Amino acid sequence: MGAIRVLAVAGARPNFMKIAPLMRELCARPGFTPFLVHTGQHYDAAMSESFFRDLGIPEPDANLGVGSGSHAEQTGHVLIKIEALLQEQQPDVVLVVGDVNSTLAATLAAVKLQIPVAHVEAGLRSGDREMPEELNRILTDAVSTWLFTTEEAGDRNLEREGVAAERIHCVGNVMIDTVFSNLERARKLDTLSRLDLEAGGYALLTLHRPSNVDDATKLRALFGALETIHREIPVVFPVHPRTTAAIEDRLGGARPVLQLMEPLGYLDFLQLMAEAKLVLTDSGGIQEETTALGVPCLTLRENTERPVTVSEGTNTIVGGDPETILREARCVLDGHGKVGRTPRLWDGHAAVRIVDVLERDLRGRV
C-alpha cells in the first residue's frame, strides 16, 4: 500500500497561515507524501516569503508564478499551469484552503481531471455576491469532496445548498491552530518597542477589500473616522499593496494621518493584535484571530461570513458609516468592548482532525 499523495495549494497571504499546520501534520505522518504548490498570486517578500520563514512552511515543491492581474487572468493562469502539474504529479487528493482566486482555480483544474478536492474553511457565506471571495467559496464547495468547516453556521449553509451530510466535517479552525502555536514566540519579539507603542495603548487597522478601497468617497470617509480615533489613540496601519495603490490612484497620493507602515510579517502582526486595545479591519481572518485572542474587533464591512465571531466572539460589524464606527470605537476605548469566548473546536488541533479524516477515507483506496 503506497503513501497518500496530497497536493496542497497556497497562493495568497491568508492561505499561508492555514496551510502551515496542515503541512506540518502531513509531513509528520508516514502515510502521506505531501507536495506543496505556491501559485504565486502573492509574490512580494512581505506578502509571501516572510510567512514561509516565520511559520516554518517547507519550501514549495513548485511555484506557478502567476502574479497579479484581473480575476479572469489570475484564475485562468492558475488553471492552466496547475493542470499540467496535476497531470505530471497525479496526486490522490488536492488540498485547498480559504477563498482566494487560487483556491477556486486549483479546485476547478483538479475536479476536471477527476482528482478529488478537500476544501479547508468550507461553508462560509457572507450572502454578498459582490465579494469575489463569496463566488470562490460557493463554486469551490459545490465540487469538493471533503468540506471541512470551521463553525456550525458553515454546516448549515452547505446543507441548505444540498451538500450530503457525510461530506461535511466540522473540524475547527486551522488559522487558530497557527495563532496558538505561535503566540508565545510572537510575544517575545520587540515589535511594540520598535514601533514605540505600549500594550493596550493603540488601535490596529487593516483595510484592503475592493469594496472599501476602490471607491474614493468611501475610502475618504473611512479615513476621516479613523483619523478622529488616531487623535485619541495611535492607529497603527500596515498598508496592503492594493490600498497603497488606491491611495495613489484614487486619493491623488493623499495619505491618511495614521501610523502607516509596510505590511508586517506574521509574528509581528500577531503580537500587535494580541496587545491592541482595539482592532479595526475588513479582513476575514482577523475577525477570527481577534476572537481567539479575546481582543475587541470592529469589522468595517456590512456583513460577515464568520457569524460565530459575532455571536460568541469579540467581533462587532460596524460597516462603513463614520458615525457608527466612532460610536463603537468609543465604547471599546471606554472599556466596554466585547469579551467573548473561544468557539467550539478552535483549540489548536483542527489540522490533526482534518488529516485524520483524509487518512481514514483514503487509506486502502490508494
Q: Which stretch binds ligand UD1 (CB under 6 A): 12-20, 77-85, 119-127, 149-157?
A: 12-20
Place of cell 478552535: 346
Could you tell me the maximum CA-CA distance found in the chain, to the nearest angstrom? 65
CB of 210 to ligand UD1, least distance (A): 7
Residues 245-264 that bind ligand UD1 (CB under 6 A): 245
By CB under 6 A, tell whether 180 contacts ligand UD1: no
Q: Using alpha carbons, select from 184, 176, 207, 205 the residue that is nearest to residue 294.
A: 176
218: CB partners within 8 A, 6+ apart: 211, 212, 320
Kindly determine how many residues on this chain lie close enough to bind ligand UD1 according to the rule CB under 6 A: 19
Tell me the three cell numbers of residue 9. Answer: 495549494
Provide DSSP, 44-74.
SIIIIIHHHHHHTPPPPSEE-------HHHH
Q: Using alpha carbons, select from 274, 323, 271 the residue that is nearest to residue 297.
A: 274
Among 208, 230, 277, 349, binds ligand UD1 (CB under 6 A): 208
- When the beta carbons of 15 and 271 are compared against ligand UD1, the nearer one is 15
Percentage helix, strand, coil for the chain under 3-state DSSP, each rounded to 5: 50, 15, 35
- When the beta carbons of 13 and 353 are compared against ligand UD1, the nearer one is 13
CB of 285 to ligand UD1, least distance (A): 8
Place of cell 479575546: 294
The residues facing 260 across adjacent strands are 237
By CB under 6 A, tell whether 14 contacts ligand UD1: yes
CB of 151 to ligand UD1, least distance (A): 18
Q: Which residues are catalytic?
A: 208
Among 54, 133, 155, 177, binds ligand UD1 (CB under 6 A): 133
- When the beta carbons of 48 and 140 are compared against ligand UD1, the nearer one is 48
Among 5, 29, 31, 47, binds ligand UD1 (CB under 6 A): 47
- When the beta carbons of 6 and 213 are compared against ligand UD1, the nearer one is 213
Please check whether residue 287 is in contact with residue 281, taking contact to mean a CB–CB distance below 8 angstroms: yes
Q: Which stretch binds ligand UD1 (CB under 6 A): 35-43, 120-128, 184-192, 329-337?
A: 35-43
Please check whether residue 38 is in contact with residue 64, taking contact to mean a CB–CB distance below 8 angstroms: yes
Q: Which stretch binds ligand UD1 (CB under 6 A): 58-66, 88-96, 238-246, 312-320?
A: 238-246
Q: Are strands 62-63 and 32-38 parallel, antiparallel or unpaired?
A: parallel
CB of 217 to ligand UD1, least distance (A): 20
By CB under 6 A, tell whether 139 contacts ligand UD1: no
Q: Using alpha carbons, select from 347, 174, 204 the residue that is nearest to residue 275.
A: 204
CA torsion 104→156→291→239, rounded to 10°?
Answer: 30
- When the beta carbons of 25 and 212 are compared against ligand UD1, the nearer one is 212
Q: Which stretch binds ligand UD1 (CB under 6 A): 7-15, 58-66, 157-165, 191-199?
A: 7-15
CA torsion 26→28→32→34, rounded to 10°?
Answer: 50
The DSSP code for 312 is T
By CB under 6 A, tell whether 41 contacts ligand UD1: yes
Residue ranges that bind ligand UD1, judged by CB under 6 A: 12-14, 41-44, 47-48, 68, 100-101, 132-133, 208, 240-242, 245
